[in-house]
Structure 1
Amino acid sequence: MKFLDQTKIYVRSGDGGAGCVSFRREKFIEFGGPDGGDGGRGGDVVAECVEGLNTLIDFRYQQHFKGKTGGHGMGKNRHGAGGADAVLKVPEGTQIYEEDGETLIADLTEVGQRAIICKGGNGGFGNLHFTTSTNRAPRRANAGQPGEERTIILRLKLIADAGLVGLPNAGKSTFLATVSAARPKIADYPFTTLHPGLGVVEIDEKEFVLADIPGLIEGAHEGHGLGDRFLGHVERCGVLLHLVDATGEHAGKDYKVVRGELAAYGNGLDEKQEVVALTKIDAIDSETLKQQVDRLKRAIRSAGPVLPEGEKPRAPLKISAIAGEGVTDALRLVWKLIETRRREAVARIPQPEWRP
């Protein structure tokens, strides 16, 4: 299945049904009077967060969604039926924007959440509704109200515990394939990963979700390479695992390039907790490795995230995904940060006051 994380669709709610003009006419009933029923309400357009979806690919083949028109009122005080809703089933982490791409309508982050995008039109009143003490036989009824219509943008931001970031060909896909059952495309050329991928990682009988984000290059925030649009998926990640290629020319400069793109993107990405690891250490000699580690340490001190007062930056980890060296230590450190973040999130939830 192809990964699709953004799409534009047209939605329209149903019109309300028209009211009815009718009179009761039966044998031996002298004063039948008006008995026109009201029209039914039009169907809404509703977005619902459901389980089992991880892409917006369904909206690639259908871009128009319309609620049903409400039923018209009828004689004998019969009201029209309400129109059926048009339900948009979306995965967790879907954001719904206005056509301008900036005005947020809804953010669906949990299964079962629903948001009404367009409300259906109200049904019109039948002539029974207009009966008064002086007007005993009204011959008027209302037409139903029209539904709403709009063009919206659906944008998916993957919900993961940790995200892999780094330059192209830094070993992110290889790392994900090593630590999880995911099978991303792996090749010896840059930009192998064209779409974000997810994998479930198990470490010490604990599990967390790891996201593989396509590589960044200098100027990605200006559209160079694949751009920085995929960084939206990192916004929901609690921890970043920053991989730096040890076989590159200068590990410190490579680290600063990615940090610069995170800062240029904004939304707090450059402030997230970060674990830095030097990859492909099996492909270089010990002297080069020592030199690259020293360069990376200096870069972390100057361009790394701001740490609490008194806390020193962590030394970069040294890993080889193919040889399995240092991978377990990296996962344990990532899990430790994820666990701490989860406990802090639970502590921030206001607890109900206990009363006897």
Structure 2
Amino acid sequence: MFVDRATINIISGKGGNGCVSFRREPFVPEGGPDGGDGGKGGDVVIMADKNLRTLMDFKYKRKYQAENGQDGMRKKRYGKSGQDLVIKVPMGTVVIDEATGLVMMDLTEDGQSFVAAKGGRGGKGNVHFKNSVRQAPNFAEAGTAAKERTVILELKSIADVGLVGFPNVGKSSLLSVATSASPKIADYHFTTIDPNLGVVNIHDTSFIMADIAGIIEGAHMGLGLGLRFLKHIERTKVLIHVVDVSGSEGRDPIEDFEKINSELLQYSKSVADKPMLVCANKIDLTDEEDPEYLRFKEYVERKGYQVFPVSAPINYGVQALLDAALAELQRVLREPQPEPEIEYFDFETDDVDPEYRTVNVDTDEDGFVVTGKQLRKIFDSTNFNDFGSLRYLYKYIEKSGAIDRMKEMGLDEGDTIKVFDYEFEYYDEF
């Protein structure tokens, strides 16, 4: 089963918490703090693998989570870092951040990878909080939270030459003759519903050819699975436009030619501007001297395209077409290619949260509510059985200006302040 689009949820590992510990050894009176740091959480890495061809596995498993970092230990021992989670996808997969719609990475080479979600940092053990005043800190730092995001995986075939045209014009037959591929071939529309790829071995070299499933009128708007078909053309460097010149299905070859070109243009100008050769297929059902064929050939050549009469089943004209495709491909590869205009996800901005230190103040029926991202980390680090640790939490809230803002909102002595799931009564002297 070929699947070329999937949406998954990825979660990095949480950083391990720092340890609260004190030396307890014989002959070491009043041993100081010796709590170690927590380990880093595992990253979620997405990597291209040439052995994969479909995103089918992601239809059945949607959630992927890296390993959490281990908590710190006594005797200043660090916690073990969480193992990275490597998610393998086919070459040609575009990874998109669902929240912003921006491309995170276009994985076009085998082994190419990137970190899609960084693991949380490990928290510091209580040994780091000792100073001349606080000789026995009874608290440690919590590890940084895991990063969670939803990403879209979109597979676009990697091929040098793409075969385009209406359904049932003989693209699959041409692919089977030109390459070692064995596509399904039958005399009805949409026999091919997924792109088939094959390798053309020619003149001591080779290139990859793709049979792009049949395009119909309105494909650029999604009709007939059109968008699924069209996106696989984007990476090709040369197009071969296959047209049934025999009119075996009662259609006019010139109209077919123009309709497909119109769909390509309305989908993407960069796709429509790709070099194109025209394969006048099923020539065995008509004649190269037939007036209708000559009318088609003259019309297409006036537009600047080369026309090649072909009968794929009997291998007539195929070699000449492949020779021209190779020459065109080599010409394109020699010329510098413009970079596509794509807005990429900004990983540097993603790592810097401008609201991280912001402390928010609100009210509910029980009193005042205080929240914040860094506040959450300090709250998770607080030892509520230790006065010094509680005072550290309070001073952080006070220095953020949250107490002054609550006073402006009517805070008075004895009022309740709620910090996540902890409540305390406010007094001027803490």
Is the pair's TM-score, using the shorter chain for normalization, greater than 0.5?
yes
Q: Which residue of the partner structure matches residue 252 of structure 1?
A: 254
What SS does the corresponding residue of 2:13 show, helix, strand or coil?
coil
What SS does the corresponding residue of 2:152 show, helix, strand or coil?
strand
**What is the percentage of aligned positions where both structures have the same residue?**
46
Contact 1:256 1:299 in 2 (8 A): no
* Residue type of the alignment partner of 1:94: T
Deviation at 1:59, TM superposition (A): 1.6
Contact 2:50 2:90 in 1 (8 A): yes
Q: Which residue of the partner structure matches residue 3 of structure 1?
A: 2
What SS does the corresponding residue of 2:78 show, helix, strand or coil?
coil
Q: Which residue of the partner structure matches residue 137 of structure 1?
A: 136
Specify whether residues 68 and 262 from structure 1 end up closer, same or farther in structure 2 by C-alpha distance, changes over 3 A only.
same
User: Is 1:324 matched with 2:323?
Assistant: no
Deviation at 1:267, TM superposition (A): 5.1
Deviation at 1:321, TM superposition (A): 0.5
1:268 to 270, 279, 282: 270
Q: Which residue of the partner structure matches residue 69 of structure 2?
A: 70
Aligned-partner Cα distance in 2 for 1:13–1:315: 53
Aligned-partner Cα distance in 2 for 1:100–1:251: 44
Deviation at 1:314, TM superposition (A): 3.5
1:159-193 superposed Cα distances (whole Å, 9 cap, x missing partner): 11100000001100000011111111101111110
Aligned-partner Cα distance in 2 for 1:267–1:189: 30
Q: Which residue of the partner structure matches residue 56 of structure 1?
A: 55
Q: Which residue of the partner structure matches residue 351 of structure 1?
A: none
Aligned-partner Cα distance in 2 for 1:297–1:46: 54
1:341 to 332, 352, 355: 332
Contact 2:276 2:305 in 1 (8 A): no
Specify whether residues 63 and 151 from structure 1 end up closer, same or farther in structure 2 by C-alpha distance, changes over 3 A only.
same
Aligned-partner Cα distance in 2 for 1:3–1:296: 37
List aligned pairs for 1:1-356, cutoff 5 A: 2-99=1-98, 102-248=101-247, 249-266=251-268, 268-286=270-288, 288=290, 290-299=291-300, 301=302, 313-345=304-336
Bigger Rg, structure 1 or 2: 2
Contact 1:293 1:316 in 2 (8 A): no
Tell me the number of residue pairs that the alignment of Structure 1 and Structure 2 aligns. 336
Aligned-partner Cα distance in 2 for 1:71–1:34: 19
Specify whether residues 92 and 293 from structure 1 end up closer, same or farther in structure 2 by C-alpha distance, changes over 3 A only.
farther
Aligned-partner Cα distance in 2 for 1:318–1:69: 62
* Residue type of the alignment partner of 2:264: L
What SS does the corresponding residue of 1:227 show, helix, strand or coil?
helix
Deviation at 1:206, TM superposition (A): 1.7
What SS does the corresponding residue of 2:243 show, helix, strand or coil?
strand
Specify whether residues 101 and 156 from structure 1 end up closer, same or farther in structure 2 by C-alpha distance, changes over 3 A only.
farther
TM-score by length of 1: 0.90
**What is the CA RMSD across the aligned residues, in angstroms?**
1.9
Deviation at 1:296, TM superposition (A): 4.5
Q: Which residue of the partner structure matches residue 422 of structure 2?
A: none
Aligned-partner Cα distance in 2 for 1:266–1:229: 14
1:169-221 superposed Cα distances (whole Å, 9 cap, x missing partner): 11000000111111111011111101011000112222110001011111112
Deviation at 1:286, TM superposition (A): 4.8
Contact 2:277 2:306 in 1 (8 A): no
Deviation at 1:131, TM superposition (A): 1.3
Contact 2:70 2:79 in 1 (8 A): yes
1:247-294 superposed Cα distances (whole Å, 9 cap, x missing partner): 223111100010010011115110000001100000124554x42342
TM-score by length of 2: 0.75
Deviation at 1:47, TM superposition (A): 0.4
Contact 1:69 1:83 in 2 (8 A): yes
Specify whether residues 102 and 259 from structure 1 end up closer, same or farther in structure 2 by C-alpha distance, changes over 3 A only.
farther
Aligned-partner Cα distance in 1 for 2:227–2:331: 28
1:52-96 superposed Cα distances (whole Å, 9 cap, x missing partner): 122222222221100111000110101111011111111211100
Aligned-partner Cα distance in 1 for 2:288–2:210: 31
Contact 2:44 2:115 in 1 (8 A): yes
Contact 1:176 1:212 in 2 (8 A): yes
Return 5+ residue gaps in structure 1 as ranges: 303-312, 349-356
